[in-house]
Amino acid sequence: MYPPSATAANALTHWAPDSWRSWPALQQPAYQNPQALALVLDALALQPALVTAERTLHLKAMLAEAQQGKRFVLQLGDCAERFDHNDLPQTRRQIALLQQMSQVLMHGLQLPVVQVARLAGQYAKPRSSDMETHDGVALPVYRGDSVNSPAFTAEARRADPQRLLDAHAHSALTLKHLHALQMAGVDQLLHGEHWSLRWLDLAQGRDRLQALLTEVQGTLRFMRTLAGSQPGAFLHREVYISHEALLLGYEQALTRQDEDGRWFNLATHLPWIGLRTAQPEGAHVEYLRGLANPVAVKVGADATPSQLNALVERLNPDNEPGRLTLIHRMGAHLLHERLGPLIEALQAQGAQVLWLCDPMHGNTRTLPCGTKTRLFNDILGEIADAFTVHARHGSWLGGLHLEASGDDVTECLGGAAGLQPADLGKHYLSQVDPRLNRDQALELALRISLDVDAWRHCA
C-alpha cells in the first residue's frame, strides 16, 4: 500500500539478522576487546532460545485485536531489571501487580487485557551521555546490567561482554519463575491477601475507589466459584515478555529461523526500540524490520508526521495488523498539541498500528538534589489526555506502557500516600528511571477505570 522509497525498496531486498551492521548503530557500548565480544556472541548463538515463535505469533494476533478495540494491552515492569534482584518472590510481586491491575482495567474498560511484562531481558539502557563525572572524575555511564555495573569505579563501569551471557542466563531464570507461577495458577495472585490496600484510607474520593475494588473482588470470587474444581480455568491468562532491543549483537545472536524461513527474535515475544534509537535510517529499525515478531517503537513529542510515516513504511510495509505498536511518550504538557497530527498522518495513509501510551518518559523531572522523579498526577494526566485525543480523532488508544514495581519503592511523587521529595530517599532502588510503586500503580488502574468513559466523552 505504501509506495516504497528508493532506499527502503533497496533495503527490503537485503535483510539478514546482521544487516543492521551496515547502518549507524547508536547506544552500543564501547568494548575494549572486540575479540572477547566476538567469542561471547558466538557462544550466545549456541544458547537455547528463550521463547517460542508460536507464542510471538499468538501475541501478534492479540495485538491485532487490541488494534481493533477488542482488547487492551498492559505493558509494565522495571525501567531496568537487575541481575541480583530476580528471585522467585520478586517475580511473584511483579506478576501479582500486573494481574491485579489487569483485573481492575478489565472491569473499567470492559475488555480482556493482554499482559506484557517488561521482564526477563530488560537489562540494557540507552543513556543521554556517555560519561558521568563526580568530583572531577569522569567514568563511562552505567548502561544496564548486561553491559556494566552501577558502582562508580573504573572496573565496575567497564563494558564486560561476559555480561551478555549472564543476561541470557538471568532471563532464562526469570522465565522459569514465571512458568512456575503460571503452573501454580496465576489467579492465586489475585487472592485477597496479595492486594496491598492500606493506601486506600488516605485516598481522595476513597468511596468511589473502594466501591470499584469491592466490585472487582466480588467478580473474582464469583469466577472462582464458577471455575469450581478447575481452579485457574477462568482466570488463566498468559503473560508475554518484552524488552528494549538495544544491544544488537545480543539480539542478533538470539535471532533464529523457523522451518518456513521466517526469522524470529526468540529472546522475547515483543522486542521494542526506544526513542534514542528509532531513526528510520538507523541500525535498530533495520534489525526490527526483518523479524516476524510483533515489534514496537517509542514515539516522542518531537516526531513529525513525515518521520512517523517513514518509520511505519519501513517497519510494516505490508500493513499487517498486530505487527507494529507505536508507544507515544510525550509528556503531560505536550501530548494535547503533538499527538493529533501524528494520528491524522497515519490515518491518511490507512496505516494499521496499535497505539499505546507511555505516560512515564515524557514526565521525568530532576529535583535540585539531582534525584530523578515523576509526579503521579502528571502520569494520570497524560493518560487522561491520551484517551481524549484518540477519541477526538476517531482513533483507539489500545493500551498503556508503564514503569512500575511490585515493591514498596519510593521513586515517584504523589499518589494517595502523598509521597514528598523528602520520602524519596527511603526506598529508592532504581538505577535508571523512577517507577510507580505497587500502591501508586494500583491506584492508577482504579482511577483510569473510574474515569475512562468521562475522558473519552470530553472529546
Give the footprint of Co ion on this chain (CB under 5 A).
79, 433
Among the listed residues 148, 136, 31, the one whose alpha carbon sits nearest the alpha carbon of residue 80: 148
* Residue 123 CA neighbour count, 13 Å, CB half: 29
d(CA 303, CA 312): 12
* DSSP code string of 391-454: HHTT--EEEEEEEB-SS----SBBTTTTB-GGGGGGS---SSS--B-HHHHHHHHHHHHHHHHH
Q: Residue with the closest Cβ to ligand PEP? A: 274
Q: Terminal CA-to-CA distance of the chain, rounded, Å?
A: 31
Residue 93 contacts ligand PEP per CB under 6 A = no
Q: How far is the CB of 127 from ligand PEP (least distance, A)?
A: 9
Among the listed residues 297, 282, 278, the one whose alpha carbon sits nearest the alpha carbon of residue 351: 297
Q: Which stretch binds ligand PEP (CB under 6 A): 34-42, 165-173, 230-238, 274-282?
A: 274-282
Which of 77, 144, 274, 359 touches ligand PEP (CB under 6 A)?
A: 274
Toward ligand PEP, which CB reaches closer, 121 or 126? 126
Q: How far is the CB of 126 from ligand PEP (least distance, A)?
A: 5
Q: How far is the CB of 331 from ligand PEP (least distance, A)?
A: 11
Rg of the chain's alpha carbons, rounded to an integer? 21
Q: Which stretch binds ligand PEP (CB under 6 A): 174-182, 191-199, 249-257, 271-279?
A: 271-279
Q: How far is the CB of 122 from ligand PEP (least distance, A)?
A: 8
Question: Residues 165-204: x/- map of binding to ligand PEP (CB under 6 A)?
Answer: ----------------------------------------
Toward ligand PEP, which CB reaches closer, 95 or 303? 303
Cell of 355: 497505539
The answer to whether the beta carbons of residues 214 and 206 sit under 8 Å apart is no
Question: Residues 379-418: x/- map of binding to ligand PEP (CB under 6 A)?
Answer: ----------------------------------------
Toward Co ion, which CB reaches closer, 161 or 362? 362
**Residue 438 binding result from ligand PEP, Co ion, none, given CB thresholds of 5 to 8 Å by partner type:** none
The answer to whether the beta carbons of residues 397 and 386 sit under 8 Å apart is yes
Q: What angle do CA 204, 423, 243 make, to 5 degrees?
A: 85
Q: Which residue has the cell 472529546?
A: 459
Q: How far is the CB of 357 from ligand PEP (least distance, A)?
A: 12
Toward ligand PEP, which CB reaches closer, 107 or 269? 269
Query: Positive or negative CA dihedral for 210, 216, 219, 224?
Result: negative
Which of 60, 163, 298, 447 touches ligand PEP (CB under 6 A)?
A: 298
Among the listed residues 202, 252, 212, 238, the one whose alpha carbon sits nearest the alpha carbon of residue 37: 252
**Residue 274 binding result from Co ion, ligand PEP, none, given CB thresholds of 5 to 8 Å by partner type:** ligand PEP
**Residue 82 binding result from Co ion, ligand PEP, none, given CB thresholds of 5 to 8 Å by partner type:** none
Toward ligand PEP, which CB reaches closer, 106 or 400? 400
Q: How far is the CB of 435 from ligand PEP (least distance, A)?
A: 10
The answer to whether the beta carbons of residues 114 and 60 sit under 8 Å apart is no
The answer to whether the beta carbons of residues 403 and 118 sit under 8 Å apart is yes
Residue 361 contacts ligand PEP per CB under 6 A = yes
Element (H, E) at 30: none
Q: How far is the CB of 311 from ligand PEP (least distance, A)?
A: 14
Residue type, 216: V
The answer to whether the beta carbons of residues 334 and 297 sit under 8 Å apart is no
Q: 240: burial class by Cβ within 10 Å (0-12, 13-18, 19+)?
A: buried
Residue 433 contacts ligand PEP per CB under 6 A = yes
User: How many residues of this chain bind ligand PEP (CB under 6 A)?
Assistant: 9
- Bridge-based pairing state of the strands 131-134 and 137-140: antiparallel
Toward Co ion, which CB reaches closer, 79 or 351? 79
Q: CA 55: distance to chain centroid?
A: 18
Q: Which stretch binds ligand PEP (CB under 6 A): 106-114, 190-198, 268-276, 386-394?
A: 268-276
Of 124-143, which residues contact ligand PEP (CB under 6 A)?
126
Residue 275 contacts ligand PEP per CB under 6 A = yes
Toward ligand PEP, which CB reaches closer, 297 or 452? 297
Among the listed residues 290, 354, 358, 367, the one whose alpha carbon sits nearest the alpha carbon of residue 329: 358
Q: Which stretch binds ligand PEP (CB under 6 A): 3-11, 173-181, 206-214, 270-278?
A: 270-278
Residue 329 contacts ligand PEP per CB under 6 A = yes
Among the listed residues 144, 139, 150, the one whose alpha carbon sits nearest the alpha carbon of residue 127: 144
Q: Give me the residues that bind ligand PEP (CB under 6 A), please.
A: 79, 126, 274-276, 298, 329, 361, 433
